[in-house]
Structure 1
Amino acid sequence: MTSKKHPDWVPDAGHQLHLTGIHFDAIRLRGIRGEAVLQHLATLTEGEPGPVVREMSGARWTYFLIPPGASEGYDWPPGASEGYDWPPGAKCFGPATRDEWVGIPAADGNTYPLSWRCGAPEEDEFVDPELLHGLVTAQLAPEAAEE
């Protein structure tokens, strides 16, 4: 039996806040929208979408972790860079944002209210930013067209 080698930014217990743009960038979606994007992402990646953190209370945010700096390579849908959360529901956390933190749960144990949706990541494992961008853009396109 082999055990996963988790990145050093995954805590041993509980959860920790990490500054975005250093170990990862994050794209945040709210509630059912985040779940819908995750379901499409999981289908397209044969159940291996990469690291996705879910808040299990409150707004039920879903955070898709992409390589550090990768968020700057994409024109995220309206609101993603301006800080609007709902609608349209997306926010980019990366090196261009200042002092933005994301909670990261431990690989195992009690991490409430955060959890890994598809298991804690292995070293150098991230969500594919190009694929995620396409899914987020498609998910938000109907609302952007209405404005």
Structure 2
Amino acid sequence: MNAQSDLTWLPAAGVQLRKAGVRFDAIRVDGEEGRDVADRLARMTGGDPGPIVETATGRRGVYFLVPVGSTSHRAWPDGVTRFVAGPGHVSYIPVPAINGQTWPLSWRYRPTAPDRLVHALLLCTALGSQQ
């Protein structure tokens, strides 16, 4: 599959911001904890956890792209940041292109299908199973 052409929300080059609540929302977990959760989620899903973006600078955030509205009504642990839209509130999620210069962002797990996102309940479970 040519993910670049099938996934119209991906930028053709570089990095772009995508408004939360349109195609997806996001959960950010910073630092090594975020990377550990991403890898745990990948093991839980047979290697296809859905699209997960990581950044190499600052807080070294890991962004889990989840379905719109799937982060509400869940008890998220401390240290989790939700990127959602609502009345009087807008969030933007950084999204890198599949190829080319995207530093400091990169795909920890690339998108694999147009409707494939991180399952919020599995993510919540992976966050709760940290040791």
TM-score normalised by L of structure 2: 0.89
Query: What is the aligned partner in structure 2 of residue 130 from structure 1?
Result: 121
Aligned length: 129
Q: How does 1:56-135 map to 2 (within 5 A)?
A: 56-77=56-77, 88-96=78-86, 98-135=89-126
Aligned residues of 1:6 and 1:120 also touching (Cα < 8 A): no
> How far apart, CA to CA, are the structure 2 residues paired with 1:101 and 1:29?
15
Post-superposition Cα deviations, 1:32-73, rounded to whole Å, max 9, x if no partner, equal 110110111011111111000100111110000001111124
Secondary structure, aligned partner of 2:85? coil
Post-superposition offset of 1:76: 2.0
> How far apart, CA to CA, are the structure 2 residues paired with 1:73 and 1:96?
14
Secondary structure, aligned partner of 1:33? helix
| 5+ long unaligned stretches in structure 1 | 78-87, 143-147
Aligned residues of 2:54 and 2:106 also touching (Cα < 8 A): yes
Post-superposition offset of 1:99: 1.6
| 5+ long unaligned stretches in structure 2 | none
> How far apart, CA to CA, are the structure 2 residues paired with 1:113 and 1:44?
27
RMSD after superposition: 1.8
Query: What is the aligned partner in structure 2 of residue 9 from structure 1?
Result: 9
- Kindly, what percent of the aligned residue pairs are identical? 37
Post-superposition Cα deviations, 1:4-57, rounded to whole Å, max 9, x if no partner, equal 354221100001011111110100000011011011101111111100010011
Q: Runs ≥4 in structure 1, deviation > 3 angstroms?
A: none
> How far apart, CA to CA, are the structure 2 residues paired with 1:69 and 1:132?
14
Secondary structure, aligned partner of 1:34? helix
Query: What is the aligned partner in structure 2 of residue 82 from structure 1?
Result: none
Aligned residues of 1:72 and 1:94 also touching (Cα < 8 A): no
Secondary structure, aligned partner of 1:104? strand
**Structure 2 letter corresponding to 1:135:** A
TM-score normalised by L of structure 1: 0.80
